Structure 1
């Protein structure tokens, strides 16, 4: 079965009906020149161009036990140096592959220099060499550019694996067409007076030129599907064309007649519909899906016939270069986006007259503290945004509408900050938790087991978060100190939130909470251990009515529980400890106004 190719004419896929050339196998590959768009289709395959081979590059045998399935062959010759690529557009539900060979003989193709065989499970509309025209920089359906020089011959095999195809288009790309826009591909491979097939856009005028030296007459014919018909009144060497058809010229000369045919196809030029501006709230790492605007731009036009691309300048949109990725990373601010709607059949048929504003409104960024402490004894504190934006609106859950407020009670306070543009409101909430913190205070010191090293616990009734330090050591969150030597020490207690600190001198000594002077030789006296580390210590003992019972020094053997030689009753007794401080003043040891029990 041969493959029917409609070169430069859109067939079923592009909603046109024309007569097409036959392109049987590699030996009859259709020549391509210039950068004129190509539109074709494929149905089966003819001779096996790979002589029973199981693979060619990335292509492998398919269901008919041949590398070719539904295939079409093209050939071209480069006439300049540069970067060369192409886009093969097709129905997004179909699976197309390709291989390109650098060769001038179908019998010696060698391995392909570029090849792609990925299935179309992701429903893309393009495969090719170079860059995906949709802006998808990670498409697996694209391979690297070809770097070409003048005079190089290539064969292109396009293969349809899905066995259902609606045709395809080929558009050549690359910087080779920037330096050589009309002759990058050598047209000398086409031996035809009227030149290669022509693809034009609707409302354009195509001029066929059959000027021949020594011509005596010209006759022009047109075949619109019912055979060639003479075009009356046309006898000039040139003919202005307005309709798609196959045209023939017969040139009469003294040596005989020359006959030349050429296909001319006019493709529909798209019209981009009005597209609304977009205003949205910006977030970190924000991505705007430009594909969301495709349906607006296309309006009622068939999305299978056109492609919509987006650009940052009118120049890029007109040239069809530097398309923005559809997943567009949007920064804060307003920018103009230029739209290009392009015919898949012929990329020269496009509309780039429409643009729209894409405006990303900054969502307020709130960085003020979420936790605030009110120190005991203060009137209150200021919370909220201390560097406000004059363009923002501020609303507290208390009803106040200022960036900051003064609070004196604990609780949760919520601030909503809004940046508005038209009907779009970009808001951010932040909750400030306000807590009260007491000033540091020490209510007692506990010393456990007076030894060479002691365990000292700082007791406080204050509510808050505090740190503690013994002498000149480091601050710690625990109120317990291990390994403390007996004697005088300095304790610092401070609030974690800067509400204040307190420094106290403490005395580390030990005493028994109970003693029993009952004649059993055990625990017969009560005394304080560790007085020797103090300067001139004096211990005074009182009954519960405050009556002085006894005074002891570091040399005293202890109290035996008697007063004036008479035993006192079993009950609780109180004591105080004083000593001479470094300034020479007698000082009572704070936090040691404690009591003990006498048991008989």
Structure 2
């Protein structure tokens, strides 16, 4: 062994080139193996081991081991290199690292390098046995609680949680639990952390109980929460969806109230489900309390007309005997009916008293009808009189023209258009067959008489001439008259214009038929002509227009015979006319003269007595007329003021040649007409 701790050996070793490798050198003792290995790595002899005389170091001569299950030598905290363990300070037995530690035992540690061994140091062991925390596994939790690690059932101090048995990082106890996962817990006491306890998690989803909503109960049932149909375990009832009050199962159910139920499985209470409660108080069925049947019908309870569901018949209003529907009806007997809806029978019953009869007690009926339009007919609905024939409404009706046809239901004499029957003036008898649901029938007469209303012939406008009176007659032969002026006679005398009315009435037994006429008495004046306008100078296409200063009901004529409503006459030949305007009501007439002028297209002044002069036709009847005649060059040839003579075709006594000549006619009102004609020789 080379001991470098002496100066001689150090000097020799330091002269590396002098000694080289020494294959016989196995151990080299150095002051500090760690230091030497770090700073003189290049001078180390790779065939030798280097070791110092420093033993393994402990924090103290005694060491407390936090015991897990069977702690071993490798759990001892020590610093050194290539440590070997022994059971004594010198010699003794070498101990493997798997040697189980014993309470109070001393163990000896030695650093080694290859076959080189250093001095030993010792440590005495104190064992702290700390068991893993106590917990059951698996643990079943309720999902509704949103479970975390903090709610697990475990016993221990300063619990730490891990995701695996070897995980070095612990997790928060607020970590949400996951179904099917195993979590690991240790406890720590006096600085010692125990081994870990595995806990398998089972999170149970507690489903709501199953219930139908709404649920209906009969009022007489006095149902409680116990009567609600619900599927689940350990049902609890509440008065609210969350929080609220827990209700005992004997709580009486209330109509229209919603109740809330949870179920508890393996200690886990579910969320709540709701159910709406209807408490049904079934009403009694509806029926006429008195019903009649034909004695020959052999009617049973099934034949009674009643509206309801699942009808039951009893012999009394309460309790009594339940009667089969085939029970024969007895005259004068009262039967009592209930109905059942949604399984709930009405608590009260409807009484029906039975009469067995041989007739329907229908009666004949007669009515007089006014002809409103005075057109000789009325469209009537014969069925509208059914209620006058019989009081009930369950029967069927047939309408016939003969009694025998009604009795034997002969279709040839049946009235099929009874809903819009054309009833004419006069008396009509119909035979009505009434059939009841109980097979009884009866024939009755329906007599309808259509009468005319008074006819009033007064026109809408009645004229009256100025300073005259007029008699207005509403017609004779009626039973009553009432005028708007209070008169009750068939006619009245009217002096002044105005609005009037009269109501005329005829009585037919207890029926009165009246007609009312509203009319106006209007003043009618004599016409007054303001202007007669003519469009002439044609042979047959002239126009006369007559204008008046007043308005009225007038008519016009230009021959005194034929009158028209229009004030204009067209296609009138030239000539002299008397225009007449008269009041249609005979209150006056006015006449005026009018002339439609025309000129000859040529004349022949040859002395033969025909067409020897040219003059305006009918000009002699119109005063203030002047005529000027010009030659083709515009030279004034003749001016006529006495239009009766005309022009003889000369100028200053000399005959003018055959040619066309022009004229201008000026009327007294200043209107001019220009034209031309031919002179022929």
TM-score by length of 2: 0.33
- Who wins on radius of gyration, i.e. which is larger? 2
Higher relative contact order (CA 8 A, sep 6+): 1
Structure with the higher helix share, 1 or 2? 2
